Structure 1
Amino acid sequence: MELYTTGYLDNGLGFLIAPRPGAHLIHLAAYLDHGVKDERQQENGISHLLEHVLFNPNNLTGAQGKQWEALAKSGARMEAWTGKEHTRLGLSCLPRDLPKVMAFTADLLRNPKVTKQALEHERKIVLDEIHRKRNRPEFLWTLVEEALYAPPYGMSILGPPEVVAQLNLKQMRQRALDACTPERTRLVIAGKVDSGAVRLIEDHFEDWYAPPLHAEHHPVEIVPQLIGVPSRSERVTLYLSCPGPALGDTDRPATEVFASLLGGGLRSRMFQRLREERQLAYAAQGGSSHWRRSGYLFMAMDLSRERVPEAFRCLMDLIREVQADPPGEAETDETRESFALRALHESEGPGLATKLAQHWLNDEVYFPTRAARLYRQVSAADVQAAAGYLNPQQMAMVGIGMSDEELAHLLEVVV
């Protein structure tokens, strides 16, 4: 059983306290409802750069620097992360240090400091990060999202180097004020904590004021494209994606089960058919990703160029099979049970704060036991229905080692 304390302060700040029996530490996460979704193309990457400037301990000076130095000596840890829809500041500490950590977090959020020195220091680091990741898998996945979505969801988290290079101090300071507001903030505290933490939250955040938000809400536009990255290699990687349910949609659990059944691991249908039975691909996998406002299913194949048409045709046949006939109960049971156990496993680690916050930003309370129950209720018919998301008419494609023309020809011949 999970018992949480949730609420909102008068200024709009939301909090969720999740005591975990047997925990030794406290994990405090401040989630800002601010990310790539709030960017324009001419400032793409500003959220990620801002996270570096505000939440890198090396940039903290004055009282903030002294506060962190004392906490670090007590074993506290701090990390930060930027996503499409939110920015996360996370701290882990011993229970005795929670009052100090709360005061430190409040100071960071209420008095965000952007100095010229920190901006130029972090800009160099981020530009280096962009160049280092150009040929890594995480960068290639940004192409998958770019091929499926219009801006802002089709934009990368890191941003183009030419845009990051020209972001100025005035822009960064204004963005810090826009991002760090009580209305955008959700505090999640998990671990060895109790409802008494509410008083700490009130003491440090109740008198925090910021003007009402007037943020633009860009629509999530699906604009499937073909993106080729030509090369002379005889080995290519093909990525396919289709729009799917958002995090809070009722058919999201069934879609996750379907995507895993199709491509999640060595026992998946994609791997068994394309790799083991037909030997058409070196590797084949699939899955799904879900945000608060959208989601998508993806498939990836690593194979030789000459095998692409046959492998693509085989994959389309495989999709049509699941759409026409529901999977067997044994196959469905195994896959949905793995998701149920994963939900329960997350409840016992620091990842619980992340899961709680993702839903809390959507004004939903996440219960691991309920999540496990929802997965276990997924039927074979639900999985079959979720297969309908894989619609070739809404399919985006990225070909590493292929041209746009080759991808277009592939669709014309096979679909």
Structure 2
Amino acid sequence: MTGAVPLPLDTSELRFISSGDALVRRTVLPSGVRVLSESVPGARSATVGFWVAVGSRDETPGSYGSTHFLEHLLFKGTPSRSALDIAIAFDSVGGEHNALTAKEYTCYYAKVQDRDLPMAIDVLADMFTSSLIDSAEFETERGVILEELAMADDDPSDVASERFFEAVLGDHPLARPIGGSPESIRGVGRDAVVAHYRANYRPQDLVITAAGAVDHDILVARTVAALAQAGWDLSAEAPPVERRVGGGEPVTIGSPLVVVERPLEQASLILGFPGIAASDERRTALAVVNSILGGGMSSRLFQEIRERRGLAYSVYSFAASYSDAGVMGMAAGCSPARAGDVAELMLSELDRLVADGVSDDEISRAVGQIAGSSALALEDSDSRMSRLGRSELTLGEFIDLDESLRRLDAVSAADVLDLLHFLRAQPASLSAVGNVRADSFSGLAMTPGLLPQ
């Protein structure tokens, strides 16, 4: 495979060989259902996922929390299977099954031995198409979700992350918490969740991806049979839903500083900026920036804040990109008394990178780290299944390991420096949770574009 492979929505069949001699195939059914597979030589297990490009950002007033509700409710039974039946189906073969809700998509997935893949397809198809969303189960699951949110609220790093997204993205739909809030979960009704389900879980919304020990023709045939058994009319032609494109709602900064005071032994800090969209050509350079700044034990943040000064146990950077926006952040957990110092050090390390640039050795280490971790991740069918899903839903192109490495090797010091200047010119925001106050960070220079002279 040379270069990225486009995945046009109006092409019914695609097949190509990706790195490692894995066969990738894609079928778009007349109903709009898309089925993608990656057959990996020598694999004995397979992971299959049922995806929709609907996440927390797509909820409307009155339906906030619906996406998270559905993630739970689709496991609670169909006309032909109870919740216990669904659990037994996977437990009895040693399989794994779960779901994930994100800001721009939802996925229901299972990992099983190759011989059990037909069963996994049947059960997931039944769940996806025919959830009862029973009224009693709905109220029971409301309590479960509230407990889940309470557990997250007891984790200061989770709270800092939620407040950070709100601070950086302001009123943008991406700023909303993925799981909803206690208020939205208490307030949303079953009718709103059912309406959300009916509007977004249709043939033209469905993307099925499978990786590992999988035969594409058998996968497609089993999928068609399972969806028809569930009552879907696959003879009705419909084009797949269009992918998200950039140019959505603009990002307006929410707040430069958000402090949640709690009597904790450690303060959780996240300092960062608006980032870049998932389709931005600078995304490979962003991965290199993230690795150099805080992506490992040799990174700038880890060496300066933990190794040289001993101010934190956990310190790192991260980047998240979506269809029309993104964030770049630096995170640490430290003593409340040193929270201001740590925040200033995070900003000063970024400023030092902007002022001095990066060395060829740093770029080489970053490329090696990203390349190695990417290769190791692809030993797992879960990662390959997820790559297929994100390729289809978000990028509209498939990028294999060889192409990823080629793009990494093409990143220059100038590319990194240009991106660093762009990031540092964005308005900065800090979220802090713990035994700290706003004046703990009075020494920070949060002015947009404030660069070392």
TM-score (norm. length: structure 2) = 0.82
- Residue 360 in structure 1 maps to residue 382 in structure 2: no
Partner of 1:113: 132
Q: 1:44 aligns with which of 51, 64, 71?
A: 64
Partner of 1:219: 249
Q: 1:63 aligns with which of 70, 75, 80?
A: 80
Where do residues 173-192 of structure 1 align in structure 2 (5 Å cutoff)? 173-192=194-213
Q: 2:362 aligns with which of 331, 352, 357?
A: 331
Distance 1:266 1:75, change over 3 A: closer
Q: Distance in 2 between matches of 1:210 and 1:323?
A: 53
* Greater Cα offset, 249-258 or 270-279: 270-279
Q: Is the 8 A contact 2:284 2:411 kept in 1?
A: yes
Q: Secondary structure at the match of 2:23?
A: coil
Partner of 2:43: 23
- Residue 201 in structure 1 maps to residue 220 in structure 2: no
Distance 1:80 1:211, change over 3 A: same
Distance 1:45 1:151, change over 3 A: farther
- 1:203 deviation in Å? 3.9
* Structure 2 residue ranges without an equivalent (≥5): 1-18
RMSD of aligned alpha carbons: 3.0
Q: Distance in 2 between matches of 1:112 and 1:409?
A: 54
Partner of 1:78: 97
Q: Secondary structure at the match of 1:29?
A: strand
* Greater Cα offset, 8-17 or 285-294: 285-294
* Greater Cα offset, 23-32 or 219-228: 219-228
Q: Distance in 2 between matches of 1:338 and 1:166?
A: 45
- 1:125 deviation in Å? 0.5
* Structure 1 residue ranges without an equivalent (≥5): none
Distance 1:365 1:307, change over 3 A: same
Q: Secondary structure at the match of 1:78?
A: strand
Partner of 2:106: 87
Distance 1:284 1:94, change over 3 A: closer
Q: Distance in 2 between matches of 1:235 and 1:96?
A: 49
Q: Distance in 2 between matches of 1:179 and 1:51?
A: 13
- Residue 131 in structure 1 maps to residue 150 in structure 2: yes
Structure 2 letter corresponding to 1:198: V
Distance 1:241 1:40, change over 3 A: farther
Partner of 2:193: 172
Encode CA deviations 1:148-189: one digit per residue, 9 max, x unaligned: 112421111121112201221211211111221122211101
Q: 2:275 aligns with which of 215, 225, 244?
A: 244
Structure 2 letter corresponding to 1:377: A
* Greater Cα offset, 192-201 or 18-27: 192-201
Q: Secondary structure at the match of 1:172?
A: helix
Q: Is the 8 A contact 1:18 1:189 kept in 2?
A: yes
Q: Distance in 1 between matches of 2:195 and 2:237?
A: 13
Structure 1 letter corresponding to 2:55: G
TM-score (norm. length: structure 1) = 0.89
Q: Is the 8 A contact 1:44 1:158 kept in 2?
A: no
Encode CA deviations 1:349-385: one digit per residue, 9 max, x unaligned: 0222112211211222232332233223322222222
Distance 1:45 1:4, change over 3 A: same
Encode CA deviations 1:275-320: one digit per residue, 9 max, x unaligned: 3334555553212122343321101233445545554444333222
Q: Distance in 2 between matches of 1:51 and 1:316?
A: 38
Q: Distance in 2 between matches of 1:408 and 1:84?
A: 33
- 1:269 deviation in Å? 0.8
- Residue 410 in structure 1 maps to residue 444 in structure 2: yes
Q: Secondary structure at the match of 1:398?
A: strand
Distance 1:98 1:42, change over 3 A: same
Distance 1:211 1:319, change over 3 A: same
Q: Distance in 2 between matches of 1:81 and 1:412?
A: 35
Structure 2 letter corresponding to 1:53: L
* Greater Cα offset, 169-178 or 68-77: 68-77
Partner of 1:260: 291
Q: Secondary structure at the match of 2:173?
A: coil
- Residue 369 in structure 1 maps to residue 402 in structure 2: yes
Q: Is the 8 A contact 1:343 1:372 kept in 2?
A: no
